[in-house]
């Protein structure tokens, strides 16, 4: 009688493992599709900025020098985005 319980537990554990593996594969593929879509949108935005004439580009009112802390924050954000895309 006890061996039947072990077989039931073993079978249910195998089903759960297979289901979790399927879910992991599904979301990995979905993540890859999202990454390629994100890269395409970024590429389109860069191409659109290059097509704009200079007088339509946004003008920043304060063109002061960037402080070291701002530079560090900008580089951190860029690295996060690059790691997300890669």
pLDDT at residue 73 above 60?
Answer: yes
Q: What is the pLDDT of residues 46-64, one digit of tens each?
A: 777 677 666 655 555 555 6
Tell me the pTM: 0.49
Q: What residue segments make up the domains of the chain, in order of their start? A: 2-85
Phi/psi of residue 57, nearest 5 degrees: -70, 150
* Cα 39 from Cα 76, distance rounded (Å): 19
pLDDT exceeds cutoff 80 at 85: no
Residue 28 reports pLDDT greater than 70: yes
Is residue 85 within 8 A of residue 41, CB to CB? The reply is: no
């Amino acid at each position: 009688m006890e061996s039947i319980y072990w077989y039931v537990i073993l079978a249910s554990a195998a089903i759960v493992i297979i289901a979790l593996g399927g879910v992991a594969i599904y979301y990995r593929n979905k993540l890859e599709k999202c990454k390629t879509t994100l890269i395409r949108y970024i590429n389109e935005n860069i191409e659109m900025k290059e097509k704009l004439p200079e007088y339509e580009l946004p003008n920043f009112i304060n063109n002061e020098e960037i402080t070291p802390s701002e530079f560090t924050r900008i580089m951190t954000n860029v690295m996060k985005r690059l790691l997300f895309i890669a």
